[in-house]
Structure 1
Amino acid sequence: MLVKQTRDLKSTVYQDSLAIRQAVFIVEQHVPAELEIDEFEDQAIYFVGYVADQAVVTLRLIEADSDYHVQRVAVSRSARHHGYGQELMRAAEVFARESGKATLTLNAQLSAVPFYTQLNFQATAKPQFLDAGIMHQEMVKKLTD
């Protein structure tokens, strides 16, 4: 899988990210478009994974003090269960480490908690919460010893 990243909202990489997010979150999960496309779009670093020149997986990172917040992790329906999500998460982790960040945090949909647990994220003590009609759990991964 080829991983590309961008901050440019006019780039093809961003447009590919947006297309995956719209298919997964808006169409499949019925998240309102006004919640999916938010005020942080221009502050994020977008990662997109390509297989045979097709965008199949995406995520974004938002910088927050000593960490990055992982958001909008989505895998195209036809590309699920091939390890692309894990591969893209590892690429984002390498980027964060190389950027000197201490942790990665994220808000996992409850159905995705096992996926993130496999990547050594741990649930925080914060209570589960509802976001866009879906229950979430905050999780964190320390990048430094």
Structure 2
Amino acid sequence: MSTHTFEITNEEQMNQALDIRRTVFIDEQNVPEDLEIDEYESVCTHVLALDDQGRPVATGRILPYGEGTGKMQRIAVLKEARTGGYGRKVMAALEEIGKAKGYTHFVLEAQTHAEEFYKKLGYTTTSEPFYEAGILHVRMEKSV
């Protein structure tokens, strides 16, 4: 499988990322659009993953979150591309971007069904489960 994961640099790419997020979070998980598309879009760095045929299939963003810390958010992979390694590639790209920005610590709020995925990437659960947008989450952290 040949994929390409990169930092979003133009409006077309951003629209492709937003389409993925709408499909995954709004359509599949019933997250209200005003919670999903938020005031932090312009301050985050976003990435997009393309499959081997050049189709956008996954996305995520990193938010500056205090001194030396980046918060991973909105990690989404289209249903038909799940188990293809795209989530891992999005996370790797975001971590590289974060390291280049001088971040040595990453945090995220994982949906509990994805907690094991993030553990495999070196994240540790640091909270009890809690609800966000009506979905059970846990806070996770990783230092690099």
- Structure-1-length-normalised TM-score: 0.92
Name the SS of the counterpart of 1:43 in structure 2.
Answer: coil
Partner of 1:48: 48
Instruction: For structure 2, list consecutive stretches of 5 or more residues without a partner in the other structure.
Output: none
Give per-residue Cα distances to partners, 1:41-96, cap 9 Å, x unaligned: 11111100011210011001101121110000000111011111111111111221
Partner of 1:34: 34
Q: Which runs of 4+ in 1 moved over 2 A?
A: none
Query: Pairwise CA RMSD of aligned residues?
Result: 1.2
Change (3 A) 1:117 1:5: same
Whether contact under 8 Å (2:5, 2:89) holds in the other structure is no
Whether contact under 8 Å (1:109, 1:135) holds in the other structure is yes
| Residue identity opposite 1:42 in structure 2 | S
Report sequence identity in percent: 34
Q: Distance in 2 between matches of 1:49 and 1:6?
A: 10
- Structure-2-length-normalised TM-score: 0.92
Change (3 A) 1:132 1:7: farther
For residue 138 of structure 1, report the CA deviation from its aligned partner: 0.4
Q: Distance in 1 between matches of 2:37 and 2:23?
A: 13
Q: Distance in 1 between matches of 2:96 and 2:6?
A: 13
Which residue of 89, 92, 100 corresponds with 1:90?
A: 92
Q: Distance in 2 between matches of 1:95 and 1:131?
A: 26
Q: Does 1:23 align with 2:23?
A: yes
Q: Distance in 2 between matches of 1:120 and 1:114?
A: 10
Q: Does 1:5 align with 2:7?
A: yes
Partner of 1:110: 112
Instruction: For structure 1, list consecutive stretches of 5 or more residues without a partner in the other structure.
Output: none
| Residue identity opposite 1:141 in structure 2 | K
Name the SS of the counterpart of 1:30 in structure 2.
Answer: coil
